[in-house]
Every structure is written in C-alpha cells, then in structure tokens.
Structure 1
Amino acid sequence: MRKHLIVHIRRHRALAIGMTAQVIQFGSALALVPFMVTRFSASTVGLWYIFATMQTLALVCDFGFQPSFTRGIALALSGARQLEKKGLGEAVPADQPPNYRLAAEAVAAARRFYRWLAVGVMLLLLLAGLPYITALARQGDVSVTSVQIAWVIQCCAIGLTLSFLWITPVLMGSGRVEQNYLYIIANRATFSLAGIAVLMLGGDLIALTATLVATQVFARLLAQRLMRGVLGPEDSRLVDRSAARHLLRTLAPNAGRMGAVAIGGFLVTRFSLFAISSFVGVAIGGVYALSLQLLMALCAAAQLPMQVAMPRLIAARVAHDKAALRLSFNGAMIAFALIYVLGAAFILFVMPVFLEMIGSNLSLLPLPTLALLAFIVLLEGFHSNAAFFITTANNVPFLRPAVLSGAAVAAGALLLGWSGAGITAIVLWQGTVQLAYNNWRWPLMAWREIART
C-alpha cells in the first residue's frame, strides 16, 4: 500500500513539474513582452522577433535526431546489446544490466552531432543572416552597428543552444524526466527574469542577446549536476570516433521523417514573418509576430489537456478499451475548444486595451485580420491535437502533407509579399493552404478511429 502511494505521489509530482515546465516554456517569452514593447521601438521589437524566429529555425535543423538519441540511450540503459536501424531489435530480459558502453557511444554520437551542427548553423547564420539583418535594420531606421553586434551575439547563443541539445536525450533516455523539466525551467525562467531586469535597467538589443548567452551557460552548468552518474563508469568523451560515427549512421534513417515534419510545421506557422518583415516592413512584422506569439501560446496552453491525456490514450489503445479511448479524446478536444475560444476573446478585445494602457510602442493586428489569424490557429490546434492522437497508435501518416503544405505556404507568402498584396492576404493564404487538406484530414481520421473502435 505504501509503495503504491509513493509511486502515485511521484507520478503526480512529475506531472506537476512537467506542467510547470510547459507553462514557463511558453510564458517566459510572454513575460518579456510588456517590458519590451514599452522600451523598444516597433522596428526593434520586430527585429527581436526575427532573432527569436531564427533561433526556432535553428532548432528545427535538429532534423528529428533528439527522439532518436533519446530512444537509443534508453535502449542501451535497458540492457540492449546494439541499436537497430529499424525496430527495437531483440527482446531484452527485465533483469539485464545497463549497457553503459553502448549508452556512452550514443551520448558521444549526440555530442558530436550537435557540436558540428552548431558550428555549421552559426557559420550559415553569420554569412547569410548578417546581410539580411542589416537590410532590415536600415529599412526600420535602427542603428545598423548595434543590430549587427546583437546578431553576432545571437548567433553565439544559437550555437550554444544547438551544442547543448544532447542534454535532453540523456536526461529523458535515462528516465530522469523530472530533472529534464527542471533543466527546462532553469533555462527559460532564468532568461525571462534576467531579460526583464536588463530591460528595466535600460538594456538594448545587445544586452538582451548577451543575457541569452549567459543563461545558456548557467543551464549547462546545472545540467552537469543533473546528469551525474547516468553512464555509470563510462565517459562519453573517451568513446572512439568510429563508434560514434557508426551509431549516427544507425540512427539517421528514423530521425529524418520527424525532422521533415518539423521543418514543414515551421514553414507553415513561422515563415510568413520573414515575408512580412521583408516586403511589408520590419515594424509590421513585429505587429504580426506579437499577435502570433500570443495566439500560439494560447494554443499551446489549450493543448495541454491532450498531452496530459496521452498516458490514458495509450493505455486505452493497448487495452482495446473503446469507451475510455473515446472519452479521453473527446474530453481533451472539448477542453481545447473552451480554453482557446475564451483565451482568443481575451486577446482580441482585452489585449489591445492593455497594450494601450501600458504605453506600448507596438499594437496587435487590426481586429478583422487578428480574428482571421485566431481562427486559423484554432484550426491548426484542432488538427494538431488529432495528429497527436493518431501518433499514439504508432502511426505517422502526415510526412508528405506537412512538407508540401509548408512549401506551399512559404512560396505563396513570398509571392504575395513581393506583389504588395499585404499582410491580410499572407495570413489568408496560410489558412487556405491548411484548410485544403490538413485542417480536415487528420481530425476526420481521428474521429473515424474513434467511431471504429
């Protein structure tokens, strides 16, 4: 009885920490908004959102390797003798001791992969991104020199972020889920608090990007303590390079599919900012980015019930419990709709008044365009929830639609921006592409599964 109670408490503690990490992950960026929009010009805010979106794009360059590394480390620590390109390989007895050597090779492969990825992305952003950022600074009448310095520092921050991406697979693969959430909380919350302090002290774009570098270093030092003892007597830094290369080739095939889906998702939801900033103006790009940030944060919060329901959904599938599966799915979808609609009403009608009250240099999109964007994000959230449900059956059927939709949105946004069609047309195009297939296809598939079971 006591053992069952301890397990129950630990499970709920992990869930509470996980929920806190999710809230902080999306809320930390929002916490900066009131301080940023009252101290930076509209063009500077727009440039900051370009910086942040570039960081998001850099993270997409992971190409789906994080879950592959996580799975590989977990299998090694479960006692697997080797990792397979497909499937899980031969069954591992429950009493099999951890294969620390294989785990160390997986960690070494992850560290090597992310180190070279960081170097490559940094060089690309410095060479290709600096002229683009310079052009936007001149367009927005912002000090070119200060923006260029800030961009170089931001590239360093992005490089650090990428080079540390191996930490989460180590913590998650070793079962240290709570520690991984603590790592996320420390990273996000520290930047939010330090960023607010910097802004209140009169810091500029350079100071804000420097704060991001400092918080990355702090989080890395904390992670060192959280990972202590994971590999037993092994040291990933002493692993032979050929072993690390062999393991990378083993994990690469499965990583590519989810990486392509992630890139497609970025093109659908984030790429329009580049087209708007380039052709409509960096200040208007800031208006769009702020509006999208609020709606995407709301959507993420509304999707938490579906994420929390994941263990119940998987358990119901395994047990072929039709009633429980239907109840969990429908409940999560209803909760999403209620949370999102109420939150969207707040953003549409209360947030503009709040921004005006605090003397913001940046407003939200005009109400009709903002309402259109809110509706598009609502449909995105519905089909993302449905896709999440579909993956609980170990099925990922949306690779090609994700990539094709992302390419169509990006190409259309560039063409509309170049032709002078305006921001509403770009937003409408994004919604039209998604409505043509993804918005209805995956909810329909999910509901057919519910009806069939």
Structure 2
Amino acid sequence: MTRKDMFWGYLAQALNIGAGLILLPVILKYLPPAEVGLWFVFITLVGLAQLLEFGFNPTISRNTSYIYAGATSLQKDGLPTSQANSSLVNLHLLASLISTARKVYGLVSLLAAVLLLIVGSIYISTLITEETENKPTLILAWISFASGYVITLYYGYINGMLHGRGDVTQSNKVVVATRGLLVVVGSYAVIEGHGLLGLGLASLLSSGIGRIIAAHYFFSKTRPEMRAIRSDPLKKVDDLTNLLWHNASKLGAVQIGSFLIQRGNILIASSALGLASAASYGMTVTILTVLMTVSSVLCQLQLPSLNAMQSKNERESLVAIYGQIQLSSWAVFTLGLFVLAVFGNAVLNFIGSDTKLLAWPLLLSFGIIYLLELNHSIAATYLTTVNKIPFVKAALISGVSITTLAILFADAYGIVGLIAAQGVVQLAYNNWKWPTEAQKHLQSSFLETIKKGANKLTGKI
C-alpha cells in the first residue's frame, strides 16, 4: 500500500462523505427555501433507493478477489474449495461473475428507475404547489438528478470488481471523478442561477463521465484476461445469482440493522425532544459517523488483500495487516474525537451556526461508544473475508433493541437515554463478540496481533 494509494483512498472517502457538505453552503446561499427543502427530499429519496442494492457490491468484490487469487470455483459459504496452483485467472468463472453482476445490477437499476422516476416524480409533484414558479423545471431537475443516480447504480458492479481484483486506486479515482465533478459543476450551476436544474444536470453529467472512466479502467490494456473476454466472449457462462444472493441478502439485512443502530435515534429525537435538541444530536451523530468511516479507510483499502490472503491461508500476513488496521483506525478516530471535543463548537461559532454539538461529557461518552463500534465493525469486516456473514441476527436484534430502548428512555432521560440505549445494547454483545471471533479465527492473541501490527505499521512509516 503506497502513499499514492492512501491519498486516493482518503480523497475518495472525503468526497463520498463530504460532497453534500461542500455543496450545502452554496445551496443555502443561492437557492430559495422551497428549493432547499426539495434538495433534501431528492437526497432522501435516492438514499431510500440505495437500499435496493442490498449487499451485492461487497459480495461481488469478495468473489472477484477469490477468482484473481486462483479460485476455480466459488461457494455460497466459506472459501473456494478448488484452487489453481498459480494465481492464473479462470476466464470462465470470471466471465460468469461479470455476466451475473450485469444481470443483477440491471434488475436493481430498473427497480430504482421505477421507484425514482415514476413514484418519486409523482411524490415530488405533490410537494410543488401551483403557486411555485417553474414547476416543470423542478420536475426536470428531479428527473435529471434521479437519472444520474440510476446510471451510477447500473454500473456499480464495475467499482466492486475493480476493488476486488486489487485496482483499489483506480476504483477510488472513479469516485473522485464522479463526486468531484458533481461538486464543481453543481456549485458553478447554482452560483450562475440555474438552481436545482443545474444540480440535477450536474448529477447526470458526473455520473455519465464517471462510468466512462470506470469502463476504461475495467477493460484496461494491462489486463489481458479482460481483453480475452471482451474480444472472444464465452458463449456459455454460469448463472451465479443464487450464489451471490446467499450472502448479499445477509449484508442487506445488516445494512438495515446498521441504519437502526446509527441513524434511527435521530427520528426518535425529533419526535420526543424537539427540533433544537434533535439538531444537536443529529449533527453529533453525523460527524461521529463520518469520523468512524474515515478511520476505517485503511480497512477498506486492504480488504482485497485480506480476501486474497484468506483464500491462500497466509495466516502471518493476515495477523499483521489486521493489527495494523486496528492501530491506525484507533489512532485516527481518537485524534479526530479530541479535535472535535476541543475545537468543534468554536468552529461552529466561527461560521455562525446556531446548531451546536452535544455538551462535551455527552460527546466524549458518545465518542467512546463509536470507537467500540469502529473496533467491532473492523472485526466483522474481517470475518466476511471467509465468505460468511455470521452477524446478521445480531445486527437486526441490536437495531430493534436500540430503537425500542430509545423510545422508552427518551421521555425520561432525554439525549442521555438515547446515548445509553445504543451503548448498553452494543456493549452487551457486539462490542466483544466479533473482536473475539476475529482473534479466534486469526489464531492469535490480542497482544500478539497488536505487536505484529505495530511492527508492520512502523515499517510502513
């Protein structure tokens, strides 16, 4: 992992997470309140459609890693049972995976198109009153924005396969190009007075260009196996849909549980505590979630390597990289939490925001909960490298439990009750269960893993 790879990885994560934050000041300054409200509706509807993707992307990425590590067959559960003596790519298996991925993402994007372009357009039209100016323009803005998302979704499997075969930097460059264009072109369009239509067309343009770049990397001249498949397509490929769905459906369920765990309490805060308290709580949750995502960048960058090493049973390397990921993630999160606690509200005061972070005792308590969440999320991600998803029930039960306790605690204890609900439920099981399972699988003690990770991290530095 070079510094260049790390640079593109962090830049991609920053734009993935922060594109909306970068656009927000421009939107708030140049758009009327009605259009600002519609913009948030646009984002919410697209976020809802994102659930249709379920867990196919990481599943496709993981199986791609197995194929490029020499697998000659794939399993619903567990590692490939048949492995070539070398890392030669099985063209038939790769072609089958590509064909299945296209079919799956074609269906998913079709469903998203129906949801967004038909149902979404009807819903959007009900929000635009007869007195609102330029109603056709606002509908066209939505159609353009939604179409851009559908295009990105359809070609989403390419990013997953790029990531899986080890072209992580190329995958990140696609993200940077797509999100960066949206920010630059969208900001320019809004400043020039083109409003939501400008944002919609920026979304459509950035999605199209991003997909062209992704296809360029996917069929790169440096990839002879892709040239072979493209120049002489196999006439008969296997349908791997059932195999992919087996674990993708589990990851999709985990995503629902994760939404309840990390975001569901914001809705409860709005109902029980009022908008002012909910704003502080929601801002704190959003920033801590961003910090946790940034802290886990190294884990995502190393995931293809972990998948390949797992397939080849390279135990020592797995232990060292896992320890390296833990140490770097803890360090980034702890530093970020310190900066947030010391300077967060000062920065908000400087930009004139009326909404503030939670009081520092609550912020630090919440930060510790998220640090534990980060730790067991890394462990859970590692466990997926053996092509098993053992934490589906735990994620769903935890999500429902946190939501239930939050509803019970909110009236009596306010924000403290919401924080306690998440902390108590996670500490009861997930915080210790998955790190313990990861260490068992690694066949390494916690201290030994940390020591090897420190040695590898020091060597990298």
TM-score (norm 1): 0.76
Matches of residues 67-78 of structure 1 in structure 2 within 5 Å?
67-78=58-69
Q: How far is 1:383 from its partner?
A: 1.2
Report the CA distance shift for 1:45/1:212 in structure 2 as closer, same or farther (over 3 A): same
1:400 aligns with 2:393: yes
Give distance in 2, aligned partners of 1:396 and 1:201.
Answer: 49
Does the Cα contact within 8 Å between 1:82 and 1:102 map onto a contact in 2? Answer: yes
Report the CA distance shift for 1:397/1:86 in structure 2 as closer, same or farther (over 3 A): closer
Give distance in 2, aligned partners of 1:137 and 1:435.
Answer: 41
Does the Cα contact within 8 Å between 1:125 and 1:155 map onto a contact in 2? Answer: yes
Does the Cα contact within 8 Å between 1:291 and 1:365 map onto a contact in 2? Answer: no
Give distance in 1, aligned partners of 2:142 and 2:270.
Answer: 16
Map of 1:250 onto structure 2: 243
Does the Cα contact within 8 Å between 2:149 and 2:207 map onto a contact in 1? Answer: no
Map of 2:165 onto structure 1: 174
Does the Cα contact within 8 Å between 1:383 and 1:443 map onto a contact in 2? Answer: yes
> Of 325, 330, 333, which aligns to 1:333?
330
Report the CA distance shift for 1:446/1:264 in structure 2 as closer, same or farther (over 3 A): closer
Give distance in 1, aligned partners of 2:36 and 2:8.
Answer: 32
Q: How far is 1:406 from its partner?
A: 3.3
> Of 434, 437, 441, which aligns to 2:422?
434
Give distance in 2, aligned partners of 1:123 and 1:348.
Answer: 43
> Of 380, 390, 393, which aligns to 2:370?
380
Give distance in 2, aligned partners of 1:428 and 1:156.
Answer: 42
Letter in 2 for 1:444: W
Q: How far is 1:435 from its partner?
A: 2.0
Matches of residues 54-453 of structure 1 in structure 2 within 5 Å?
54-95=45-86, 97-130=88-121, 133=124, 145=135, 147-229=138-220, 230=223, 231-235=226-230, 243=237, 246-271=239-264, 292-304=285-297, 318-319=315-316, 329=326, 332-354=329-351, 356=352, 363=353, 365-368=355-358, 376=366, 379-392=369-382, 397-407=390-400, 430-439=418-427, 441-445=429-433
Letter in 2 for 1:87: G
Letter in 2 for 1:254: N
Give distance in 2, aligned partners of 1:44 and 1:276.
Answer: 25
Does the Cα contact within 8 Å between 2:105 and 2:155 map onto a contact in 1? Answer: yes
User: Any gaps of 5 or more consecutive residues in structure 2?
Assistant: 440-444, 449-461
Helix, strand or coil at the partner of 1:98? coil
Give distance in 2, aligned partners of 1:115 and 1:335.
Answer: 38
Q: How far is 1:167 from its partner?
A: 1.0
Q: How far is 1:282 from its partner?
A: 10
Does the Cα contact within 8 Å between 1:137 and 1:144 map onto a contact in 2? Answer: no
Letter in 1 for 2:203: L
1:16 aligns with 2:7: yes
Helix, strand or coil at the partner of 1:221? helix
1:361-420 Cα offsets, whole Å, 9 max, x none, are xx453555898578546523431233213543557543223223434566788x89xxx9
1:24-77 Cα offsets, whole Å, 9 max, x none, are 322333222322222235564444234224333333322211122223333344
- Which stretch shows the higher mean deviation, 125-134 or 58-67? 125-134
User: Any gaps of 5 or more consecutive residues in structure 1?
Assistant: 1-9, 357-362
Does the Cα contact within 8 Å between 1:50 and 1:273 map onto a contact in 2? Answer: no
- Which stretch shows the higher mean deviation, 80-89 or 117-126? 80-89
Report the CA distance shift for 1:404/1:61 in structure 2 as closer, same or farther (over 3 A): farther
Letter in 1 for 2:423: L
Helix, strand or coil at the partner of 2:229? coil
Q: How far is 1:328 from its partner?
A: 6.6
Does the Cα contact within 8 Å between 1:302 and 1:340 map onto a contact in 2? Answer: no
Give distance in 2, aligned partners of 1:148 and 1:281.
Answer: 32
Give distance in 2, aligned partners of 1:375 and 1:387.
Answer: 18
Report the CA distance shift for 1:75/1:174 in structure 2 as closer, same or farther (over 3 A): same
Give distance in 2, aligned partners of 1:209 and 1:385.
Answer: 38
Give distance in 1, aligned partners of 2:126 and 2:274.
Answer: 11
Does the Cα contact within 8 Å between 1:68 and 1:254 map onto a contact in 2? Answer: yes
Q: How far is 1:307 from its partner?
A: 5.9
Give distance in 2, aligned partners of 1:296 and 1:195.
Answer: 25
Map of 2:456 onto structure 1: none
Does the Cα contact within 8 Å between 1:305 and 1:335 map onto a contact in 2? Answer: no
Does the Cα contact within 8 Å between 1:46 and 1:284 map onto a contact in 2? Answer: no
Structure ranking higher on relative contact order (CA contacts 8 Å, 6+ apart)? 1
1:79-135 Cα offsets, whole Å, 9 max, x none, are 433322222333423436322232122111111111111111221234554565556
Map of 1:6 onto structure 2: none
- Which stretch shows the higher mean deviation, 269-278 or 338-347? 269-278
Give distance in 1, aligned partners of 2:36 and 2:54.
Answer: 29
Give distance in 2, aligned partners of 1:373 and 1:46.
Answer: 29
Q: How far is 1:157 from its partner?
A: 2.4
Q: How far is 1:344 from its partner?
A: 4.3
What RMSD in Å do the two structures reach over aligned CA positions? 4.4
Does the Cα contact within 8 Å between 1:79 and 1:92 map onto a contact in 2? Answer: yes
Does the Cα contact within 8 Å between 1:405 and 1:433 map onto a contact in 2? Answer: no
Report the CA distance shift for 1:160/1:345 in structure 2 as closer, same or farther (over 3 A): farther
Identity of aligned pairs, percent? 23
Does the Cα contact within 8 Å between 1:333 and 1:382 map onto a contact in 2? Answer: no
Give distance in 1, aligned partners of 2:120 and 2:83.
Answer: 48
- Which stretch shows the higher mean deviation, 289-298 or 160-169? 289-298
Give distance in 2, aligned partners of 1:36 and 1:161.
Answer: 23
